[in-house]
């Protein structure tokens, strides 16, 4: 495997996991830039602590774009979508391949600013404090030329076994699907937990149900796994539930809309 | 452990799993009643096949309520909520403890018809073809007297390690929470899968994300695990997603409502 010299822009959840794993896989991180210097310093300290045999001096923590080394192989931008263009516009001239890690941002955002660029989008939800099995994360990648794409595939392949070339339209659509699969299903779990906690019921009681929910969705598929009052068109039960939600008008609305959509799905089957 | 003589009314998903496990745990099933005789026969055949040393003749499959043996210890009704009262009204006189397995049905539904009764509610989603680890399923139980409750706790305890006495209000609330935790989160996974399939994207790409979603919701809690454009108030990304949903007005509505609720949660934090 080629070992690359890499600079990270951003020091949030995605930066932390990507940097950790790049470091662990033997790539040479040369700098972490963040608009908040304490954040870049925190990430650099963690990375240096994770590999004490390497001299810490080789890895720069900075909040100054002008301090970024100009000779890295890759510059990976793990910034909020709207920050990517702002930072690109403020950058000094330098070489290397420029990447962002966003699902909903086209590769063309780089066009006015850089020659070689692409996308390294990890299809996974990342929180700093929760470890990730990076080898199983699908990486959707794209490059400004076949040669650049090949290099990005190599970089991604050193992190994960599931690397796929994907165009912008595919990436945006799978990003939308990921919002439903992760953010929205997670929010349903949040509401369930709140409903229990509020009434002094132990949310731990729901854990076997959660485990089963995801296990079945993966093994038999969510359509076959569906159960419950909406699927059965059990209106009496739905009325009782809505009565419990009378002081939570937003949750009552969600309950009604989602139940209606489950019923519509059942009819189409 | 006491071994009970048990009749099952209903032959659907819950009946199948409960009967299988009661049988496996050494209780003596004496009858399966279902309004559709083929259904009771199918369940009986499966149970007898699962334990070939026992004479099949001891376990009756019937669609006639008058054929139900009058001397069982327990009669477990795993019927649709609205069918429970109809069946109770049509039953001949007999003894034993009468149970239903519903989350949203009060115990008092039995009052006009039976002397000893209660509830045996498994807090789990069950599909006939997917095996269940019954020992981990929380059973919420209630009895018409302390003595009856004690017997139901014993029966439930032979199936599971997580038996809890719960009143009607607790049961209905946890049933509502379970609808969000299971039915609704599962529907989000269904929509995600549909969005991928439709565009020729492999829904398998989402599997690591699903596994992580649920693993994090259990380990750090769904509120801490939340990520995504709604939490970040990333309106540009949300607009791009809504543009993709322009021909799916119901899903666009769901997208907007759930995103709004995630944003409201983020503000309360």
Three-state SS across B8-37? EECCCHHHHHHHHHHHHCCCEEEEEECCCH
CB-based contact B117:B88 (threshold 8 Å) = no
Find chain B residues with C-beta within 8 A of A126's C-beta.
227
Alpha carbon B168 to its chain's center = 16
**Under an 8 A CB cutoff, do B187 and A226 touch?**
yes
Chain B interface disruption, residue of A121, A139, A186, A195, most B CBs within 10 A: A186
* Cross-strand pairs, A6: A29, A74
CA–CA distance, A86 with A100 (Å, rounded to integer): 13
Q: Which of A179, A210, A227 has the CB atom closest to B241's CB atom? A: A179
Residues of chain B numbered 152-171 and touching chain A (CB < 8 Å): 162, 164, 170
Out of A91-95, B9-13, B14-18, B181-185, pick the least confident.
A91-95
Q: Is the pLDDT of residue B14 over 90?
A: yes
Tokens for B94, please give them. Answer: 């007999």
Instruction: Tell me B179's DSSP state.
Output: I
What is chain A's pLDDT, residue by residue, as a tens digit (269 residues)? 689 999 999 999 999 999 999 999 999 999 999 999 999 999 999 888 765 445 445 799 999 999 999 999 999 999 988 899 999 999 988 899 999 999 999 999 999 999 999 999 999 988 888 888 999 999 999 999 999 999 999 999 999 999 999 999 999 999 999 999 999 999 999 999 999 999 899 999 999 999 999 999 989 999 999 999 999 899 999 999 999 999 999 999 999 999 999 999 988 87
Instruction: Tell me A165's DSSP state.
Output: E
A-B contacts (CB, under 8 Å): 318
Chain A interface disruption, residue of B131, B176, B224, most A CBs within 10 A: B176
Nearest chain B CA: its distance from A72 CA (Å): 30
Q: Is the pLDDT of residue B55 over 80?
A: no
Out of A1-5, B26-30, B165-169, pick the least confident.
A1-5
Per-residue pLDDT, averaged over B110-139, amounts to: 93
CA–CA distance, A131 with A150 (Å, rounded to integer): 28
At residue B158 the predicted structure's pLDDT band, cuts being 50, 70 and 90, is: very high
Tokens for B113, please give them. Answer: 């018809």
CA–CA distance, A11 with A101 (Å, rounded to integer): 13
Nearest chain A CA: its distance from B82 CA (Å): 8
**Under an 8 A CB cutoff, do B177 and A192 touch?**
yes
**Under an 8 A CB cutoff, do B82 and A172 touch?**
no
Nearest chain A CA: its distance from B193 CA (Å): 7
Tokens for B167, please give them. Answer: 């009143």
Chain B interface disruption, residue of A237, A246, A253, A262, most B CBs within 10 A: A237
Residue with tokens 């659509």: A173
pLDDT at B51: 58
Strand order in the sheet with A28-33: A60-62, A28-33, A5-9, A74-77, A97-100, A117-122, A138-143, A162-165
B247 — phi, psi (to 5°)?
-95, 5
CA–CA distance, B38 with B69 (Å, rounded to integer): 19
User: A197: which residues sit within 8 A by CB, 6+ positions away?
Assistant: A203
User: Which residue of chain A has the CA closest to B128?
Assistant: A225
A94 touches chain B (CB under 8 A): no
Going along chain B, which residue ranges are E strands? 5-9, 28-33, 60-62, 74-77, 97-100, 117-122, 138-143, 162-165
Alpha carbon A214 to its chain's center = 19
At residue B134 the predicted structure's pLDDT band, cuts being 50, 70 and 90, is: very high
Q: Is the pLDDT of residue B189 over 90?
A: yes
Instruction: Tell me A123's DSSP state.
Output: -
At residue B223 the predicted structure's pLDDT band, cuts being 50, 70 and 90, is: very high
Q: Is the pLDDT of residue B53 over 50?
A: no
Q: Tens of pLDDT along B34-44?
A: 999 999 999 99
As for the ipTM of the complex, it is 0.89
Instruction: Tell me A7's DSSP state.
Output: E
A49-76: burial string, b at 16+ Cβ within 10 Å, e else: eeeeeeeeeebbbbeeeeebeeebbbbb
Q: Which of A137, A213, A255 has the CB atom closest to B182's CB atom? A: A213
A210 touches chain B (CB under 8 A): yes
| For chain A, domain boundaries | 5-166, 173-268
B235 touches chain A (CB under 8 A): no
Alpha carbon A101 to its chain's center = 8
How, if at all, do strands B117-122 and B138-143 pair?
antiparallel
CB-based contact A104:B240 (threshold 8 Å) = yes
**Under an 8 A CB cutoff, do B189 and A81 touch?**
no
pLDDT at A138: 96
Burial of B228 (0-12, 13-18, 19+ CB in 10 A): buried
Instruction: Please state which architecture CATH assigns to domain B173-268.
Output: Orthogonal Bundle (1.10)
Q: Which of A126, A214, A224 has the CB atom closest to B210's CB atom? A: A214
Per-residue pLDDT, averaged over B134-139, amounts to: 95
CA–CA distance, B186 with A196 (Å, rounded to integer): 19
A129 touches chain B (CB under 8 A): yes
Find chain A residues with C-beta within 8 A of B248's C-beta.
none
Residues of chain B numbered 20-79 and touching chain A (CB < 8 Å): none
User: Which residue of chain A has the CA closest to B242?
Assistant: A176
Query: B80 to each of A224, B75, B87, B135, how far by Cα in Å?
Result: 19, 15, 11, 24
CA–CA distance, B186 with B263 (Å, rounded to integer): 21
CB-based contact B99:B78 (threshold 8 Å) = no
A228 touches chain B (CB under 8 A): yes
At residue B12 the predicted structure's pLDDT band, cuts being 50, 70 and 90, is: very high
**Under an 8 A CB cutoff, do B217 and A132 touch?**
no
pLDDT at B48: 82
- The domain A5-166: what is its CATH number? 3.40.50.720
CA–CA distance, A228 with A238 (Å, rounded to integer): 10
User: Within 10 A of B120 (CB to CB), how many other CB atoms are there?
Assistant: 26
**Under an 8 A CB cutoff, do A209 and B236 touch?**
no
Tokens for A219, please give them. Answer: 């093994």
H or E element in which residue A206 lies = none
Q: Which of A104, A183, A226 has the CB atom closest to B230's CB atom? A: A183
Find chain B residues with C-beta within 8 A of A191's C-beta.
177, 180, 261
The larger pLDDT score, comparing residue B238 to residue B130, is at B238
User: Which residue of chain B has the CA closest to A177?
Assistant: B192
pLDDT at A51: 57
Q: Which of A80, A208, A237 has the CB atom closest to B104's CB atom? A: A237
**Under an 8 A CB cutoff, do A250 and B257 touch?**
yes
**Under an 8 A CB cutoff, do B244 and A176 touch?**
yes
What is the widest separation between alpha-carbon atoms in chain A?
68
Q: Is the pLDDT of residue B49 over 70?
A: yes
Strand order in the sheet with B138-143: B60-62, B28-33, B5-9, B74-77, B97-100, B117-122, B138-143, B162-165
CB-based contact A102:A141 (threshold 8 Å) = no
Residue with tokens 């935790």: B181
Nearest chain A CA: its distance from B108 CA (Å): 16
Instruction: Tell me A104's DSSP state.
Output: S
């Amino acid at each position: 495997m080629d070992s690359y010299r890499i600079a990270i822009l951003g020091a949030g959840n995605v930066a932390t996991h990507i940097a950790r794993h790049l470091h662990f896989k033997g790539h040479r991180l040369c700098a972490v830039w963040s608009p908040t210097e304490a954040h870049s310093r925190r990430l650099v300290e963690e990375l240096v602590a994770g590999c004490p045999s390497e001299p810490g001096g080789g890895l720069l923590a900075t909040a100054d774009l002008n301090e970024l080394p100009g000779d890295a192989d890759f510059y990976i931008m793990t910034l909020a979508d709207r920050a990517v263009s702002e930072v690109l516009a403020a950058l000094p001239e330098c070489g290397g391949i420029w990447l962002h890690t966003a699902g909903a941002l086209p590769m063309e955002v780089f066009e006015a600013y850089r020659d070689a660029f692409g996308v390294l989008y990890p299809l996974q939800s990342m929180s700093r404090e929760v470890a990730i099995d990076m080898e199983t994360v699908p990486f959707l990648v794209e490059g400004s030329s076949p040669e650049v794409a090949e290099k990005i595939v190599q970089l991604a392949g050193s992190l994960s076994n599931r690397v796929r070339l994907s165009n912008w339209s595919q990436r945006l659509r799978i990003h939308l699907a990921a919002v439903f699969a992760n953010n929205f299903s997670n929010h349903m779990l949040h509401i369930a937990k709140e409903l229990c906690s509020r009434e002094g019921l132990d949310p731990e009681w729901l854990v076997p149900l959660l485990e089963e929910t995801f296990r079945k969705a993966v093994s038999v598929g969510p359509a076959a796994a569906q159960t419950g009052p909406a699927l059965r068109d059990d209106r009496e039960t739905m009325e009782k539930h809505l009565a419990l939600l009378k002081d939570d008008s937003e949750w009552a609305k969600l309950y009604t809309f989602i139940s209606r959509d489950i019923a519509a799905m059942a009819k189409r089957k």
